[in-house]
Homo-oligomer: A and B are copies of this chain.
Amino acid sequence: MSNFNLDNVTSHIEQDFDNSVNRLIEWLKIPSVSTDPAYNDDVRKAADWMMNELDGMGFEIKLIETDGHPVVFAERKASNKDAKTILYYGHYDVQPGDPFELWDTAPFEPTIVDSMHGKKLVARGAEDDKGQVMTFIEAFRAFIATHDDLPCNIKIMLEGEEETGSPSLDKFLKQNKDILAADVCVVCDTAMWDINTPAITYSLRGLIDAEISIKGPSRDLHSGMYGGAVINPLHALSNIVAQLHDENGKIQIPHFYEGAPELEEAERAALSALNFDDAEFLGEIGLKNTAGEDGYSTIERIYARPSCDVNGMWGGYIGEGHKTVIASEAHVKLSCRLVGDQDPAKILPNIEKFFADRLPADFTMTFKNHGAAYALKLPIDSPYLKAAQKGLEVEYQREAKMIGMGGSIPAVGAIKNMLGLESVMVGFGLSDDNIHSPNEKYELTCLRRGIRSHAAILLELAKV
């Protein structure tokens, strides 16, 4: 190990940083929206772009087809025959850009603007997950530029379907188990505690999503000719959505909470010790009042309790002006975040039943789901996790916080189940990065220190 010099690597990172930003900008210009088939060509273009980069860095590259979008796989061995093998996970697909009109600059025209932390890069995917992926890619580049070598054998797996719930991932992992073999997986898709405090995420909520369409009259009706004499599908759907939670914020889907553990005193104390600032968390999104399930604090609600949210709802005339129509159909997309041992496979049919049981007699409904993931808690005493903590401390000169995350990364569960691999989740996002929202951004300081951190972490992982 003595032949690797972190100072040389970080010096190179600093000198090359403008180029790193430009490379990220190039990648962000490709609208790799995985959920919308209209962007299929761009998704592939984003994969090819990264393949080309990795090829140039001396990685063996392979674009592996799946039932959906392909996986970018790359490998470069260390000269040290005894080196550990680290699998890095990220995703090259992004959320849709809409609502486009709420962006200050076009989502796929990356723009650098001033921020309270210096400069930030604004674009769809700037953080989630192209910017985050670049933190480890650019760290590898710096090692290769300064040492023509890497401290560990590196495997890279970049998925193209994370934003649609990773539907092809299980099968992909099963079929490619051999080439993916590693000592540990490093996942870069999570957030810091704040701009100066790094974090390692050890718990994730699970996710299920569903899309329900209900249909009453066989066609749209004139509200004058029929109003008052038929059940309006938008009223019927609103009635059902209004019943999803009771007045205490409890989700009413039958058996929903089965497997969701009550918080233990120790966990409550640990969450409380994080000194999460409700006023700041809510103030940043223009709100004052806490809300949610009675009996829990805000941080408990988002780290340790399940949730159920409508993500989209529509029906009838939604254009300019007014059209006095009674819609034939009404639609809702919803998702649930899961904790503990809540089982997506059991909850999905109960959501369907919840809607079906409340459907007016003459109505029909269709139900589909896009993806599902179990909640996950990672062991916090693993030597790899401790190595990552050390690497972060080298860069930030303070201890990394161990945090939960309200979101879901289906890959982490799949990697554990299919490859038997533990993951270390370390990322450099901030809570105000607007991921999945208009004006998504990544602070340039997060990108720069993320690259530096991954360099330090890689050296620590090599020592395990």
Contact = CB atoms under 8 A, between A and B. Distances in A.
A45 interface: no
Interface residue SS majority, chain A = loop
Interface string A256-288: 000000000000000000000000011001111
B306 A325 contact: no
B229 A298 contact: yes
Nearest to A296: B228
Nearest to A304: B228
B289 A406 contact: no
Interface stretch (A176-184, A234-242, A391-399): A234-242
Interface in A434-463: 434-439
Interface string A282-313: 10011111111100001001100111111111
Contact of A315 (B281, B312, B320, B431): B312
Interface string A369-394: 01100000000000000000000000
A354 B235 CA distance: 16
B436 A293 contact: no
Interface stretch (A49-57, A93-101, A345-353, A416-424): A93-101
B217 A292 contact: no
A318 interface: yes
Contact of A322 (B35, B218, B219, B317): B35
Contacts of A13: none
A79 B331 CA distance: 60
A254 interface: no
Contact of A227 (B309, B314, B322, B438): B309
A337 interface: yes
A413 interface: no
A211 interface: yes
A201 B187 CA distance: 70
A226 B327 contact: no
The interface size bin for chain A is 35 or more
Nearest to A405: B224
A58 interface: no
Contacts of A327: 311-312
B311 A325 contact: yes
Contact of A321 (B35, B230, B290): B35
Interface in A212-259: 216-232, 234-235, 237-239, 241-245, 249
A313 B234 CA distance: 7
Contact of A337 (B205, B227, B371): B227
A324 interface: yes
A216 B287 contact: yes
Nearest to A227: B307
A464 interface: no
A291 B229 contact: yes
A114 interface: no
Contacts of A437: 219-222, 325
Given A321-B35, A370-B322, A362 B205 contact: no
A225 B317 contact: no
Select the residue from A219, A225, A314, A316 with max chain B CB neighbours within 10 A: A225
Nearest to A35: B321
Contacts of A439: 219
A342 interface: no
Given A286-B217, A287-B217, A322 B316 contact: no
B311 A326 contact: yes
Given A311-B324, A362-B288, A242 B244 contact: no
What are the 8 tightest A-B residue pairs by CB atom distance, in nearest-first order? A224-B407, A35-B321, A218-B286, A228-B307, A312-B316, A227-B307, A238-B241, A242-B242
22 contacts: A36-B321, A96-B319, A96-B323, A209-B322, A211-B322, A217-B285, A217-B287, A219-B438, A223-B309, A223-B335, A224-B407, A226-B302, A227-B335, A229-B292, A230-B282, A235-B310, A311-B317, A311-B324, A313-B330, A314-B315, A323-B436, A324-B335
Given A216-B287, A226-B285, A229-B291, 9 more contacts: A36-B319, A163-B323, A222-B407, A223-B307, A223-B311, A235-B245, A238-B241, A312-B317, A314-B315
